[in-house]
Amino acid sequence: MHWPGACARGGASGLRIAATPTLAASLLPQAVAAMQRQYPAMQCDLWAIHTPEIEQRLATQEIDAGIALEPPERVTVAVSQLAETEILLAVPWPWVTSQTAGSRQLTARPCIALAESTPLGDALAGLLERAGWRAEAALRVQTYRMAGSLVEHGAGYAFIDGFTAIGLDPVKVALFRLRPSLPVHLHLMRASTAAPSLSLPRLEKELRKAARSLLARLPDRLQSSVLSIDDAP
């Protein structure tokens, strides 16, 4: 992948920031727009890439900061926790009945799963396995954002993070909390082997504010019933 010469800026005058696709579509624009209003001369280069690519670009100092959910621990990457949300169940509204809060009603339905193993995905898989949840993985996708979009189109149900959930159409998707819950942490990443950009504290501040703003909208989107995954057949 070729990274434009503009990426070489970094330093005090600008930031090179990469975020996972969901966060690049919601959280990052809100934070960067706030920074631009406060510091009009600041320049930023932004990318939407997957967590392993973010780690690679941090290691080679091609970016100054990365934003991801539950990135794996690496000696060469320093992380700061920005916010906490949780994994939610997203279900097409036409599937929702008075019995939806019981997992027996969903295990026979098609499930949309992530195609690649990630720390968060592995934690969810372990939780479902311990509960005896046998999902029919009809579709495998690369991102939570794609999974959410497929739920909007009625293709299946999916387990997604809170940042993805808040961006889904409430007319098309019902959101349920899980019992037991699975926390999800938002992290800001930077290379531990390089001096941090002077603009990084500004970014961290605005990311925290944007995360609080987005997640504050989530409770109004959640169904009153909680899905107990321990009810799986």
**What percent of the chain is modeled with pLDDT above 90?**
61
SS3 (DSSP) at 174: strand
User: Mean of the pLDDT values across residues 143-161?
Assistant: 95
Cβ neighbourhood burial of 22 (10 Å; 0-12, 13-18, 19+): buried
Helices (H) and strands (E) in the chain, counts: 7, 10
CA dihedral 194, 198, 203, 206 (to 10 degrees): 150
Quote the pLDDT of residue 6. 39
Q: Where are the beta strands (DSSP E) in 147-221?
A: 157-161, 173-179, 183-191
Strand 222-228 with 173-179, pairing: parallel
**Whole-number CA gyration radius for the chain:** 19
SS3 (DSSP) at 77: strand
Q: How far is CA 223 from CA 135, 214, 217, in A?
A: 22, 18, 13
> CATH second-level architecture of 5-83+185-215?
3-Layer(aba) Sandwich (3.40)
Please tell me the distance from the alpha carbon of residue 129 to that of residue 113, in angstroms, as a whole number.
14
Half-sphere exposure of 110 (CA within 13 A, CB side): 12
Q: Is the confidence at residue 8, as pLDDT, over 80?
A: no
Task: Give CATH for domain 85-183+219-231.
Answer: 3.40.190.10
DSSP state of 3: -
Model pLDDT for residues 40-86, shown as the tens digit of each residue: 999 999 999 999 999 999 999 999 999 999 877 787 889 999 999 99
Quote the pLDDT of residue 14. 81
Please tell me the distance from the alpha carbon of residue 194 to that of residue 200, in angstroms, as a whole number.
13
Model pLDDT for residues 94-125, shown as the tens digit of each residue: 998 866 655 667 878 899 988 777 788 888 88
Specify which of 22-26, 121-125, 131-135 reaches the highest per-range mean pLDDT.
22-26
CATH 3.40.190.10 residue ranges of the chain are 5-83+185-215, 85-183+219-231
Residue with tokens 């949780």: 86
Cβ neighbourhood burial of 169 (10 Å; 0-12, 13-18, 19+): exposed
Q: Is the confidence at residue 11, as pLDDT, over 60?
A: no
Of the candidates 186, 210, 167, 163, which has an alpha carbon nearest to the alpha carbon of residue 30?
210
Mean pLDDT of the chain: 87
Residue with tokens 């609080």: 212
Q: Is the confidence at residue 231, as pLDDT, over 70?
A: no
pTM of the model: 0.88
Q: Which residues contact 129 (CB under 8 A, 6 or more apart)?
A: none
